[in-house]
Amino acid sequence: MKINKWLVGTIAVLLILFISSSMTYHQQTSVPFLERMLANKPLNHQLLGVHFKYAGEVVSIDALGYFKFVEFFIRKAAHFISYFAIGVTAMIGLAKYTPNRWVRLVQVPLSVAGVAALDEFHQMLTGDRTPLFQDVMLDTIAGTIGVLIVFLVMARHRKSVSRG
C-alpha cells in the first residue's frame, strides 16, 4: 500500500493546529521574542496610521502596543497559511478517493470550515484563549483559496494534456 503524502501533510498540519490550540495564549505568545528582535520598532511611524476592527476590537498600535500589534498579524498569517495548506494538501490528497473534482471543490472547503469551527471550539475549552467566528471565516477563506488554486492548476494541466 502506497502512502498518500498529501494526506500525511494534511494530518501533520491538523496535528500542529491541535497542539497549538491546546496551548494558552501565554504559552505561545511571541511578544517577548518580538521585543528582543524588533527592539528599535522598525516601521513604527508608518504603522501608526493603521487601525481597524477585528472581532469588534480595535487593532492598532495605540490600542495594543507595537509588539502585540505585530503579533496580531503574525497570528493571523499563521491561521491563513495553516488552512491554506490544509486546503491544498486535502484537495490533492483526496483526488484518489474522490476522483470527481467538482465534488472535491465543495467537499474540501466544507471540511476546512468544519475543522476551523472545531479548532475554535477547542480554543474555547483551553484557558486564556478567545475563540472567534472571524477566525473561522479567515480559515475557511484561506482553505478555499488553496482549493481554488489547486482546482485551476489541475484544470489547466488537464487542458494542456488533452491538447498535447
CA–CA separation, 67 vs 2, rounded Å? 46
Residues above pLDDT 90, as percent of the chain? 91
pLDDT tens-digit profile of 108-144? 999 999 999 999 999 999 988 999 999 999 999 999 9
Across 1-5, 57-61, 91-95, least confident range: 1-5
Residues facing 119 on adjacent strands: none
pLDDT of residue 14: 98
**Does residue 57 have a pLDDT over 90?**
yes
pLDDT of residue 111: 98
pLDDT of residue 158: 82
Torsion of CA 40, 24, 117, 85, to 10 degrees: 50
Average pLDDT (65-89) is: 97
pLDDT of residue 115: 98
- Ordered by start, the domain boundaries in the chain are 5-41+75-163
pLDDT of residue 162: 74
Q: Report the chain's mean pLDDT, rounded to a whole number.
A: 95
Average pLDDT (28-39) is: 96
| DSSP assignments along 17-38, one per residue | HHHHHTS-HHHH--HHHHHHHT
Question: 110, 101, 86: which is closest to 154 by C-alpha?
Answer: 101
Q: Compute φ and ψ for 58, nearest 5 degrees.
A: -75, 130
pLDDT grade for 164, boundaries at 50, 70 and 90: low
Across 56-60, 118-122, 159-163, least confident range: 159-163
Average pLDDT (40-48) is: 95
Provide the whole-model pTM: 0.92
